[in-house]
Amino acid sequence: MTAPEPPPSPTQPRNPLHGLTLEAIVTALVAHYGWAGLGERVPVRCFTSDPSVASSLKFLRKTPWARARVEGLYLFMLREARRGP
* CATH number (domain holding residue 71): 1.10.720.30
Interatomic CA distance for residues 76 and 84, integer angstroms: 13
In a domain, 54, yes or no: yes
- Please tell me the predicted confidence (pLDDT) of residue 9: 53
Domain count within the chain: 1
The predicted structure's pLDDT at residue 5: 59
Q: Is 37 domain-assigned?
A: yes
Query: Is residue 10, in this structure, part of any structural domain at all?
Result: no
- Please state, in angstroms and rounded to a whole number, the distance separating the CA atoms of residues 42 and 51: 13
Domain of residue 44: give its range: 22-83
Report the C-alpha gap between 31 and 38 in whole angstroms.
10
Per-residue pLDDT in tens (0 to 9) along the chain, 85 residues: 555 655 555 577 787 888 889 999 999 999 999 999 999 999 999 999 999 999 999 999 999 999 999 999 999 999 998 887 6
Q: pTM for the complete prediction?
A: 0.81
The answer to the question of residue 1 being in a domain is no
5 within a domain of the structure (yes/no): no
